[in-house]
Amino acid sequence: MDNSNNRLKAAMLLIIGANILKKSPVYILLYFLAFALLSRREWKSLPALLGWAMLVGFLAEFVGTRMCLPFSCYEYVNLQPQILEIAVFVPLAWAIFGAISYLTASFLFARKYHRLLFASLLMVVLDLSIDPIMTSWSGWVWKTSTTINWFGIPWTNYAGWFIVSLVIFYLYERFSDASICHSLRKFGPPIYLLEMLTFAVYAPESVKVPTMVAFLISLVLVIPLSLKRLGE
């Protein structure tokens, strides 16, 4: 038990450090170090989720930049380095955000399909912050425009995010033992809200509004459900 508590504390410190250093490449390193610790006992199948997220995420981005599906038409510009015209950061981001969203949903929902759907919704809310930030400095550029959009980003992007996320989580649960110890699951909502908060804090002034709105949406979604779950 003491070793488990120590791993949890170390992992949470790494995650907090990652969020403080969010604008640095160290962000990714710290998260994966935390995941390595947690996968030893608290979440043994976490590597499987990370693997599915990177694989499906990369394939979705590969198809997306060539066939405009499922997100609509876009291309990577300033986000480097790239492999096959896909920024290396992107599949790693799918893994990090997928793990955070799934961990949060696993605490809030015991039923499988509620958990999968809510985790996918949380991924969409994350992208309400991610996409405005990345497009503000041309990390990627949208070629598609739609009448209904999120601060210039086509609504189809978010439909695509939901679908791809749902595929990732379904494959993970279908082929892995998705059990997570309770002592870790309860950290899901705070970690998720920390991510949303730091996106809003570090966002360029030009996209402060969408990131702040996204943060408020995350609060409305996560806090009441967390309080209900804690009260059970």
Q: Does the residue 125 lie in any domain?
A: yes
Each residue's pLDDT tens digit, 159-216: 999 999 999 999 999 999 999 999 999 999 999 999 999 999 999 999 999 999 999 9
Q: Does the residue 95 lie in any domain?
A: yes
Distance CA 101, CA 63 (A): 24
- Could you tell me if 116 and 98 are in contact, meaning their C-beta atoms sit under 8 angstroms apart? no
Q: Does the residue 34 lie in any domain?
A: no
Q: Does the residue 13 lie in any domain?
A: no
pLDDT score for 4: 85
Q: Does the residue 158 lie in any domain?
A: yes
Each residue's pLDDT tens digit, 99-121: 999 999 999 999 999 999 999 99
Q: Does the residue 140 lie in any domain?
A: yes
Q: Does the residue 1 lie in any domain?
A: no
Q: Does the residue 6 lie in any domain?
A: no
Location of structure tokens 């990732």: 168
DSSP H/E element including 75: strand 74-76
- Could you tell me if 178 and 156 are in contact, meaning their C-beta atoms sit under 8 angstroms apart? no
Location of structure tokens 């979604």: 221
Each residue's pLDDT tens digit, 122-154: 999 999 999 999 999 999 999 999 999 999 999
Distance CA 21, CA 14 (A): 10
**What is the domain range of residue 74?**
46-231
Domains in the chain: how many in total?
1
